[in-house]
């Protein structure tokens, strides 16, 4: 498990209220469903009888695909946990008009009222999808932090019109208006849809059953809400480690909080039993299953018509370790700060706290750091092997500087 940082870009399209009580709330909820069905779910492919395979760029555990809008190619994240999104810059460039507004929630559970815009035609490979609607988000912080150009998110309101196969080994996506049949031994899992069309998969931990979002916009594996986790017997029976800070960047803002890493001996997934799998436990309202797990299966077929997932293996590799450098830097604005610090790590033993200023990392000073230098650090830390040593200097709130050398350690067995 490599935990430099985790991109969490889930964006859910929510009804205006939860359980309606008042007449106004009932009307607002009814209006949300009406807007969804009339506008968001209006997207559809123009062509008939097509099957196409295209390569994708797999960057920091994210699937990036090229899409074409009005003759120009853009980079979009392929995200089963989100409705379609465009960057604010792209929205302005294309002069998109507001269609409607609705509540939106990101992966931390934060809710904001968002406007939805008419995108029109969007092309993936040779296939054109018409009447596409999406919201707009300022994506500059993602581009800077994760060293990739990101113009938008290819979301579930488009995906649910076709059949999809993600091949993590070949780094290709196949999509068709006809069923894509699984080959060989597979794990078949049923799913339901949330309000925005994202697949929801039943999970069982201990005596609790709940639904997690299949989220290819999340480059982790299992993410579980802390309140449920600590109410199960699992939290008392297993070894785990705690971190403090923020290691994920949501579409809205995130705050400093505690996060836990653990390996569960058993997890029920859609009626199938998985053994010894790594889980991330954090505050918030979201339960997620991301690319780190699906990559273990090699391939994933999504059949929205039958509401089935076909995972390309019967058994997957079990996890044993939590090997990490123990710290996550965040590059926000023009400053480099400590994002997350894990207990038992070198950084924690040296008294490093979330929010401390990073003076230098691997000999590169953070003052006036250029984007190219930051991206070199991203590559270094993300791909760190067991023998790497990374010198770091940080400065706390009191002005005291601390110097130490990061080493990759199994924090379950420090």
Which tokens belong to 3? 């935990």
Of 151 and 18, more confident:
151
H or E, element range at 281: strand 272-282
Which tokens belong to 367? 């003052």
Q: What is the pLDDT of residue 373?
A: 86
Residue 377 — φ and ψ, nearest 5°? -70, -40
Is 56:78 a contact under the CB 8 Å cutoff? yes
Residue 32 has pLDDT above 90, yes or no: no
Is 92:138 a contact under the CB 8 Å cutoff? no
Over its C-alpha atoms, the chain yields an Rg (Å, rounded) of: 21
What residue has token string 């990036």?
A: 64
Mean pLDDT along residues 269-298: 93
Question: Which of 151-181 are b and which e, b meaning 16 or more Cβ less than 10 Å from the residue's Cβ?
Answer: bbbbbbbbbbbbbbbbbbeeeebbbbeeebe
Residue 97 has pLDDT above 70, yes or no: yes
Residue 245 has pLDDT above 80, yes or no: yes
Among 259-263, 311-315, 376-380, which is the least confidently predicted range? 376-380
DSSP strand pairing (222-225 vs 272-282): parallel
Q: What is the pLDDT of residue 252?
A: 42
Model confidence pLDDT, tens digit, residues 365-389: 988 888 888 888 888 887 766 678 8
Among 119-133, 223-237, 254-268, 306-320, which is the least confidently predicted range? 223-237
DSSP letter at 329 equals E
Predicted confidence band of residue 215 (pLDDT cuts 50, 70, 90): very high
Residue 202 has pLDDT above 90, yes or no: yes
Residue 48 — φ and ψ, nearest 5°? -125, 155
Maximum Cα interatomic distance, the chain, rounded to a whole number of Å: 66
DSSP letter at 399 equals S
3-class secondary structure, 228: helix
Question: Rounded to an integer, what distance in angstroms lies between the CA atom of residue 46 and that of residue 161?
Answer: 11
Among 13-17, 84-88, 355-359, which is the least confidently predicted range? 13-17
Highest mean pLDDT among 62-71, 220-229, 232-241: 62-71
Predicted confidence band of residue 256 (pLDDT cuts 50, 70, 90): confident
Which tokens belong to 356? 């401390």
Residue 241 — φ and ψ, nearest 5°? -135, 150
Q: Which residues are CB-neighbours of 57 under 8 A, at least 6 positions away?
A: 63, 64, 65, 75, 171
Any idea how long the chain is?
414
Question: Rounded to an integer, what distance in angstroms lies between the CA atom of residue 117 and that of residue 149?
Answer: 21
> Average pLDDT of the chain?
87
3-class secondary structure, 382: helix
H-state helical runs in 320-361: 346-349
Is 197:160 a contact under the CB 8 Å cutoff? yes
% pLDDT > 70, the chain: 88
Which tokens belong to 284? 């918030």
DSSP letter at 117 equals E
Mean pLDDT along residues 100-113: 64
Handedness of CA 35, 210, 283, 339 (dihedral sign): negative
Question: Which of 297-307 are b and which e, b meaning 16 or more Cβ less than 10 Å from the residue's Cβ?
Answer: bebbbbbbeee
Residue 20 has pLDDT above 50, yes or no: no
Q: What is the pLDDT of residue 254?
A: 58
Q: What is the pLDDT of residue 242?
A: 94
3-class secondary structure, 93: helix
Residue 189 to residues 201, 214, 215, 228, 268, Cα–Cα distance (Å):
8, 12, 15, 23, 11
Q: What is the pLDDT of residue 114?
A: 79
What residue has token string 């853009």?
A: 74
Is 224:279 a contact under the CB 8 Å cutoff? yes
Model confidence pLDDT, tens digit, residues 170-194: 999 999 999 999 999 999 999 999 9
Taking Cα atoms as reference points, which of 281, 399, 405 lies closest to residue 347? 405
Residue 33 — φ and ψ, nearest 5°? -65, -40
Partnered with residue 190 across adjacent β-strands are 308
Is 83:196 a contact under the CB 8 Å cutoff? yes
Among 99-103, 110-114, 123-127, 376-380, which is the least confidently predicted range? 110-114
Predicted confidence band of residue 198 (pLDDT cuts 50, 70, 90): very high
Q: Return the number of other C-beta atoms located less than 10 Å from residue 65's C-beta.
A: 17
Q: What is the pLDDT of residue 5?
A: 46
Mean pLDDT along residues 350-363: 92
Q: What is the pLDDT of residue 248?
A: 55
Among 72-76, 220-224, 254-258, 301-305, which is the least confidently predicted range? 254-258
Predicted confidence band of residue 18 (pLDDT cuts 50, 70, 90): very low
Q: What is the pLDDT of residue 251?
A: 41
Among 21-35, 207-221, 277-291, 359-373, which is the least confidently predicted range? 21-35
Model confidence pLDDT, tens digit, residues 129-150: 999 999 998 888 778 777 888 9
Residue 74 has pLDDT above 80, yes or no: yes
DSSP letter at 218 equals B
């Amino acid at each position: 498990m490599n935990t430099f940082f985790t991109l969490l870009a889930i964006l859910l399209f929510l009804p205006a209220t939860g359980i309606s009580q008042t007449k106004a709330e009932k009307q607002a909820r009814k209006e949300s469903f009406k807007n969804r069905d009339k506008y968001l779910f209006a997207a559809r492919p123009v062509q008939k009888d097509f099957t196409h395979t295209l390569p994708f760029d797999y960057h920091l555990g994210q699937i990036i695909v090229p899409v074409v809008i009005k003759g120009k190619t853009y980079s979009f994240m392929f995200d089963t946990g989100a409705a379609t999104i465009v960057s604010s810059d792209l929205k302005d460039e294309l002069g998109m008009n507001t269609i409607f507004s609705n509540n939106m929630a990101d992966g931390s559970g934060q809710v904001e009222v968002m406007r939805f815009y008419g995108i029109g035609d969007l092309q993936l490979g040779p296939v054109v999808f018409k009447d596409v609607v999406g919201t707009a988000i300022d994506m500059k912080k993602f581009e800077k932090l994760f060293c990739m150009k990101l113009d938008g998110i290819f979301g579930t309101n488009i995906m649910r019109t076709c059949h999809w196969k993600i091949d993590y080994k070949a780094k290709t996506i196949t999509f068709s208006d006809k069923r894509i049949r699984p080959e060989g031994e597979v794990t078949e899992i049923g799913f339901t849809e949330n309000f925005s069309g994202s697949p929801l998969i039943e999970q069982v931990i201990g005596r609790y059953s709940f639904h997690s979002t299949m989220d290819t916009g999340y480059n982790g594996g299992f993410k579980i809400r802390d309140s449920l986790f600590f109410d199960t017997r699992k939290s008392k029976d297993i070894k785990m480690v705690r971190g403090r800070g923020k290691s994920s960047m949501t579409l809205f803002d995130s705050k400093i909080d505690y996060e836990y890493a653990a390996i569960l001996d058993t997890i029920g997934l859609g009626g199938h039993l998985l053994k010894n799998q790594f889980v991330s436990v954090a505050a918030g309202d979201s339960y997620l299953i991301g690319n780190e797990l699906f990559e273990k299966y090699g391939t994933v077929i999504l059949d929205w018509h039958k509401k089935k997932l076909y995972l390309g293996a019967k058994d997957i590799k079990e996890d044993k370790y939590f090997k990490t450098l123990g710290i996550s830097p965040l590059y926000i604005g023009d400053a480099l700060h400590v994002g997350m610090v894990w207990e038992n790590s070198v950084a924690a033993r040296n008294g490093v706290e979330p929010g401390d200023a990073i003076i230098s990392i691997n000999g590169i000073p953070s003052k006036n750091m250029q984007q190219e230098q930051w991206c070199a650090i991203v590559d270094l830390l993300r791909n760190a092997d067991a023998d790497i040593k990374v010198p770091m200097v940080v400065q706390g709130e009191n002005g005291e500087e601390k110097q130490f050398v990061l080493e990759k350690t199994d924090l379950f067995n420090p």
